[in-house]
Structure 1
Amino acid sequence: MSKPNIVIDESVDYAIVSELRANDFTIYAVIDETPSISDEKVLNIAINKNALLITEDKDFGELVFRFQFFHKGILLVRMVNAKSLEKARTVLKVMNEHYEELIDNFSVLDDSKLRIRK
């Protein structure tokens, strides 16, 4: 089975991009492809690519819950106490173990746990 497509917002620590690419995930990194675009455009790219969106920007929560924007799944990384490499390895582990559960849900990964809001 091929690895899933993932769109990574430019707010995300680049170590996460590198770690996922090194493990054969297909990554569209906004910082590399289309920097400085709006959050709405980032969501549209993820939808058009049928991809999970990884972000560290809490504004996506407002777009989804307050404004009811459609999405294919969002992982909000809130690991404020983690160093880059630890954050990247944790995200890789979550992708490998929980990807299917993240699809079409808004999830938050913090320093202590993963919460999936269905």
Structure 2
Amino acid sequence: MRFLVDENTGVVVSRWLRNLGHEVFSVYEEARGTDDDIILQKAFDENWILITSDKDFGEKVYRERQPHCGVIFLRLQDERSVNKVAVLQRLLESYPDQLAYNFVVVTEKRVRFAK
């Protein structure tokens, strides 16, 4: 899969996804400080699934109706990298075919596909 990992998600997640064989664009490593609108547009234009902890992307997708190729919104109590990786691992194992073109809200205990 192709993932665009937002700056706030971190480099550990990016490296972990690469080690699994996924194609990854890391905002933290390659475009630090990029505006959210540009990130979402890049993800759409280049067919990336965005992984973020930034609530602003929900607003951009739902209120502003900006197009996307998939958004994974991490809404975690524990923001440590090890927890992000564990949550994403469960998500990728359980829902690999449902991530593209969906807005997915993920917590430590729940996965919700927002409408």
> Fold conserved (TM > 0.5)?
yes
- Quick check: 107-116 or 12-21, which moved more? 12-21
- State which of 44, 54, 59 in structure 2 corresponds to 1:57: 54
- State which of 42, 47, 56 in structure 2 corresponds to 1:45: 42
Structure 2 residue runs of 5 or longer lacking an equivalent are: none
Structure 1 distance, partners of 2:102, 2:36, is: 17
Match of 2:8 in 1: 11
Superposition deviation, residue 24 in structure 1: 1.0
Match of 1:88 in 2: 85
Calculate percent identity across the aligned residue pairs: 28
Alpha carbons 1:82, 1:111 under 8 Å: kept: no
Q: Which 4+ residue blocks in structure 1 deviate beyond 3 angstroms?
A: none
Q: TM-score, normalised by structure 2?
A: 0.90
Higher relative contact order (CA 8 A, sep 6+): 1
Q: TM-score, normalised by structure 1?
A: 0.88
- Quick check: 7-16 or 64-73, which moved more? 7-16
Deviations 1:31-72 (A, max 9, x none): 111111111110111112211100010000000111111101
- State which of 9, 18, 23 in structure 1 corresponds to 2:20: 23
Alpha carbons 2:10, 2:28 under 8 Å: kept: no
Match of 1:77 in 2: 74
Superposition deviation, residue 13 in structure 1: 3.2
Superposition deviation, residue 82 in structure 1: 5.5
- Quick check: 57-66 or 45-54, which moved more? 45-54
What SS class does the counterpart of residue 107 from structure 1 fall into? Answer: strand
Root mean square deviation of aligned Cα? 1.4
Alpha carbons 2:87, 2:107 under 8 Å: kept: no
Structure 1 distance, partners of 2:54, 2:104, is: 13
Alpha carbons 1:55, 1:76 under 8 Å: kept: yes
